[in-house]
Structure 1
């Protein structure tokens, strides 16, 4: 199962996300749930860097160990960068929520308040 964690701060801004595990909804290379979550999270990470204009903290491990991606916003980003990042991260949240609702046996979404 894929577990996705999104962390919000006191201002209700998403400040990090973590995705771990594999959906195992299909054979290796044909798992559409895993592919969808991977595309969304990697795309969002790349968009944070390019559109946000900063380098987020990114941690990963290899797929053999179970799949893992952690992304955290740096401290001290500008107001414009924060606005951009929140649009991207709220969009990620909506997309992950849709996948979790459609495939509840393969994706679990968790929220954390800092």
Structure 2
């Protein structure tokens, strides 16, 4: 199961953590994993290329199944960054509601 946790500071979203594997299908054919991965990668790229910030990124590139994104304090008020994070949360919430056996939001 993929677990998602959103981080906040004074009710401002500061980032998110993803951990685990969906195991909703064979490797390379797991549509839940693909959906979550696409949303997460698009968000990270958007933070960098659209919001022009450099979030702190922690990932398990060897085993996969873990990604943590944290905005730096001076980027918390970036309107574009907040919109991207909220859009990511909306997308993940939709995936979790359709595939609640595979995605859990904490």
Normalised to the residue count of structure 2, the TM-score between the two structures is: 0.93
Secondary structure at 2:59 match in 1: strand
**Which aligned segments of 4 or more residues in structure 1 are displaced greater than 3 angstroms?**
none
Query: 1:43-76: CA deviations, max 9, x gaps?
Result: 1011001111121100111363x51100000111
Which structure has more relative contact order (CA 8 Å, sep 6+)? It is 1
Q: 2:89 aligns with which of 87, 93, 114?
A: 93
5+ unaligned residues in a row in structure 2: which ranges?
none
RMSD between superposed Cα atoms in Å: 1.4
Q: What residue in structure 1 maps to residue 2 of structure 2?
A: 2
5+ unaligned residues in a row in structure 1: which ranges?
none
After superposition, residues 59-98 of structure 1 pair within 5 angstroms as: 59-62=58-61, 64=63, 67-77=65-75, 79=77, 82-98=78-94
Distance in 2 of aligned mates of 1:8 and 1:45: 17
After superposition, residues 25-44 of structure 1 pair within 5 angstroms as: 25-44=24-43
